[in-house]
Structure 1
Amino acid sequence: MQSEPISILQLSTADSCFDDRLTELLAWENVSDQKVEQIVGDILAAVRQRGDQALIEFTNRFDARDVGDVRELEIPPDVVSEALAGLPAAERDALDLAAERIRRYHQHQKQASWHYREEDGTLLGQQITALDRVGIYVPGGKASYPSSVLMNALPARVAGVNEIIMVVPAPGGELNPLVLAAAAIAGVDRLFTLGGAQAIGALAYGTETVPRVDKIVGPGNIFVATAKRAVFGAVGLDMVAGPSEILVVCDGQTNPDWIAMDLFSQAEHDEEAQAILISPDMDFLEQVKTSIGKLLPTMERASIIRASLERRGALIAVADMTDALALINRIAPEHLELSVASPEDWLPGIRHAGAIFMGRYTAEAVGDYCAGPNHVLPTSMTARFSSPLGVYDFQKRSSLIMCSAEGASTLGKTASVLARGESLTAHARSAEYRIKS
């Protein structure tokens, strides 16, 4: 069955206008809409001022619910446990296996405190401590994401966070049992059926029922992203995430159906998701386009995939693989698939990518669920300066300084000179008091 031909952008780095067209394709600003900012600002102000009552009002309005008491928004622990116990064996086994792989991978990220002593006995070092309480936001609008529960909560548990508060929207009061089961497996302490900007406000400021957290992690829609940016400072953030992205680089030797489906795997998230294919083989690009047309009618979310590919997708011809490498670093993709021979040879040249999937047999989809590394990744070119969510996002570092008498005297002389150079006399005299006469 062949669908209506898809209109996907085709570019070549040899085109004179390529740079401008690529810049336009990549442009996406997740909090630029003033109307969204105003709505979010009003919601946050209401939550800060009226607490639980505001949460009830916004939940009823936006999630089509009929909540009368804020206690209805919290899922009791026994309900969470029952959801896990009631899962079919195949789903329980899949969640358990994914959780174990995610937990094991993140255990390698744990940092230890350290210190050393200088010859005069002065001690310098770093103490690692976990955050006290974190909030994890799990999307729950167009789809349910039990995988996001595992990816957000398990690194926090490995880091040693004392308390994990989870929020997830439940439109119409419905919540996927898999989401509850994942919360049980990941060790979530409290779970609230809250979504949108009001959920972010509750976690950032606290209400009579929802405790204030130290950091909020997890992706969401434009209202969630806008709210996260607005509350930064009152609370820590992992990142402000945009739509999902995939950049596939292929030498033309992979089955074109595989590549088409890899592009679909991100395009099906939502209409703003971005899927781009780069290849030096023009014939292969046409083969993938044919595969897209052939496979699209078989997809349950075909209309979303089509909209995503036509709005933000692209097939890009490059001169050679060196040309492709330059594009990778310019695009700085969330997900990068290297569907090429000897993908390890590419790694030294790749500076900007959230997660790198290497080889023809490594579908990005396994990273979303069960490979082990985190699927909460930097989007919208932010991989230029940020990293995947990990244990390090749930730990803090405190510097350790303990001067011996001799060290205080030696360092005090240097500090005194520099402090007086800055006209900070109290600084200088504080250090000078410790200088041996």
Structure 2
Amino acid sequence: MATTLNISRIDCASDDAREAILELRRQLSPKGNVVSPQGRARTMEVFGEPLTPQEVVERICADVRDRGLEAVLEYTAKLDGAKLDAVSARVSRDELRAAHKAADPEYLKTISRVRENILAFQLGILNRDAVLRRGVDTELRLRYRPLQRVGVCIPGGAAAYPSSLLMTVVPAQAAGVEEIAVVVPPTPFGGYNTDLLAACYALGVTEVHRIGGAQAIAALAYGVEGIPAVDKIVGPGNLFVALAKRFVYGEVDIDSIAGPSEVVLIADWTADPRFVAADLISQAEHSPGASVMITWEPDLIDRVADALAQQLSQLSRGDLARDSLERFGALILVRDEDEAVTLTNLIAPEHLHVSTSDPERLAERLTNAGAIFLGHETPVAVGDYAAGPSHVLPTGGTARWASGLCSNDFLKRTSLIFVSREGLAQIAPDVRLLADKEGLTAHRYSVDVRLEDDQRA
């Protein structure tokens, strides 16, 4: 018999509804000060004092910057329990090849098909060089070139994630990145997982390091023995990875400071409660994960709650998903479609599923979301695994201003400007006036000296 689910129910007609909704988002933001009892004990064991996660990350990154690979291997032993050296920390080409050879052929076919889906989309949206000519005297260009070297962080604690490998590596390859270094924890789900290593080989990734956590981020950012510094670090991870990416930003570029997975699902009377429940659970099973349904149909709240309880009792990760739903989930009743749009844009979710009779019409008004899934037959899992856009998306409300990872994030752009002597003469008065206003006499002179002969004539 299905156990009743104690999920929050919020009626937007109540006075405290807005604060309750914002509290859901605040709980999942990467503040860096909340740690489990086990985490506190490990911090005391390794560092000898009760540091916050932010302090732990700063200590590790500074140590790796100063001592290099020696520090990386020490933290790998202390935090991950893996005693590695410079040789065993890197996955050899023979290991990659052997994993690929031993892999299930159907799995490799899936990797190949998904890679083609992602590559087609990422190439299709890739920025192209642009040229603007103003007569024969002025030419302005915008040129795109790929980053030279990129670091990709793949989780490996609770499960293996070949999908994260696909969703980070393939966009970089579409952009033309030549060097891709993958870091993954030295765990059975990470650096020793044959499915993940087989996927690396299938994608042409030849540099894989068995290191994780903040020490891996620092190694990529600063460079250590056997791991040259990268230009950008991308990929998901736990709180320590997110905080480490924030710490090294500026030394290198990063994709985002991501928090736990989240989904908002807008549903009307046409939505199937079973489908709605399945989508909410699919993000909750990340544990933690935030799952929110918004509807203006009172009856749907009860029907979805019943479907959630039924499905949780049947799924292998039901207990984990139940915990997330009860801590970070909500079934929200709004007055109408307009209030649903306003509330969703306020939450600015990572994933947004529009399960209504006319999702395209509603989507036009939904401006803050990492990815939007349209219609009853489009589960979020399609985007998580196979559609083409990357599943590395903004979380914690950052979709108000941030975007999901794509091939263009691996490009840098440079402007190129050419003016002939005649073109310089035409634009010179404006340059001179602005230089005079700012008191930058050398700026003005750099123009005047080129046009002296014209002035004398």
Alignment TM-score, normalising by the size of structure 1: 0.97
Q: Is the 8 A contact 1:409 1:434 kept in 2?
A: no
| In structure 1, distance between residues paired with 2:61 and 2:206 | 24
Q: Which residue of 2 aligns with 1:30?
A: 30
Q: Which residue of 2 aligns with 1:140?
A: 156
| In structure 1, distance between residues paired with 2:328 and 2:133 | 55
Q: Which residue of 2 aligns with 1:406?
A: 422
| In structure 2, distance between residues paired with 1:344 and 1:2 | 35
2:212 to 189, 192, 195: 195
| Residue deviations 1:61-110 (CA, integer Å, cap 9, x gap) | 1112122x221110012211221221112211221111111111111111
1:263 to 280, 286, 301: 280
Deviation at 1:342, TM superposition (A): 1.8
Aligned length: 434
Q: Which residue of 1 aligns with 2:19?
A: 20
2:89 to 67, 73, 81: 73
Deviation at 1:29, TM superposition (A): 2.9
| In structure 2, distance between residues paired with 1:207 and 1:361 | 47
Query: One-letter code of the match for 1:10?
Result: R
How well do the aligned residues superpose, as a CA RMSD in angstroms? 1.3
Deviation at 1:120, TM superposition (A): 4.4
Q: Which residue of 2 aligns with 1:235?
A: 252
- State the SS of the aligned residue for 1:71: coil
- State the SS of the aligned residue for 2:78: helix
| In structure 2, distance between residues paired with 1:434 and 1:9 | 72
1:219 to 236, 240, 252: 236
- The yes-or-no answer on 1:382 pairing with 2:398 is yes
> After superposition, where does 1:76-87 map in structure 2 within 5 Å?
76-87=92-103
Deviation at 1:183, TM superposition (A): 1.3
Deviation at 1:431, TM superposition (A): 2.0
Deviation at 1:176, TM superposition (A): 2.0
| In structure 1, distance between residues paired with 2:121 and 2:198 | 21
Q: Which residue of 2 aligns with 1:300?
A: 316
Deviation at 1:195, TM superposition (A): 0.5
Which runs of 5 or more residues in structure 2 are unaligned? 34-50
Q: Which residue of 2 aligns with 1:157?
A: 173
Q: Is the 8 A contact 2:108 2:199 kept in 1?
A: no
- State the SS of the aligned residue for 1:134: strand
Q: Which moved more, 1:409-418 or 1:239-248?
A: 409-418
Deviation at 1:418, TM superposition (A): 0.4
Q: Which residue of 1 aligns with 2:114?
A: 98
Q: Which consecutive segments of 4 or more residues in structure 1 shift more than 6 A?
A: none
Query: One-letter code of the match for 1:291?
Result: A
| In structure 2, distance between residues paired with 1:275 and 1:157 | 32
- State the SS of the aligned residue for 2:313: helix
Q: Is the 8 A contact 1:133 1:215 kept in 2?
A: yes
| In structure 1, distance between residues paired with 2:178 and 2:286 | 32
| Residue deviations 1:247-266 (CA, integer Å, cap 9, x gap) | 11110322212211111100
- The yes-or-no answer on 1:314 pairing with 2:353 is no
- The yes-or-no answer on 1:396 pairing with 2:395 is no
| In structure 1, distance between residues paired with 2:97 and 2:360 | 43
- The yes-or-no answer on 1:125 pairing with 2:141 is yes
Query: One-letter code of the match for 1:204?
Result: A
Q: Is the 8 A contact 2:191 2:197 kept in 1?
A: no
Q: Which residue of 1 aligns with 2:368?
A: 352
| In structure 2, distance between residues paired with 1:31 and 1:166 | 26
Q: Which residue of 2 aligns with 1:59?
A: 76
| In structure 2, distance between residues paired with 1:32 and 1:374 | 26
Deviation at 1:174, TM superposition (A): 5.9
Q: Which residue of 1 aligns with 2:44?
A: none
Q: Is the 8 A contact 2:108 2:202 kept in 1?
A: no
Q: Which residue of 1 aligns with 2:301?
A: 285
| In structure 2, distance between residues paired with 1:377 and 1:282 | 31
Deviation at 1:227, TM superposition (A): 0.3
Q: Which residue of 1 aligns with 2:45?
A: none
- The yes-or-no answer on 1:9 pairing with 2:8 is yes
Q: Is the 8 A contact 2:265 2:293 kept in 1?
A: yes
Alignment TM-score, normalising by the size of structure 2: 0.92
2:56 to 22, 33, 39: 39
Q: Is the 8 A contact 1:266 1:274 kept in 2?
A: yes
1:276 to 278, 288, 292: 292
| In structure 1, distance between residues paired with 2:93 and 2:356 | 47
- State the SS of the aligned residue for 2:88: helix
Query: One-letter code of the match for 2:432?
Result: S
Which runs of 5 or more residues in structure 1 are unaligned? none
Query: One-letter code of the match for 1:225?
Result: A
Query: One-letter code of the match for 2:259?
Result: G
- Provide the identity percentage: 40
Query: One-letter code of the match for 1:194?
Result: I
Q: Is the 8 A contact 1:64 1:171 kept in 2?
A: no
Q: Which moved more, 1:286-295 or 1:196-205?
A: 286-295
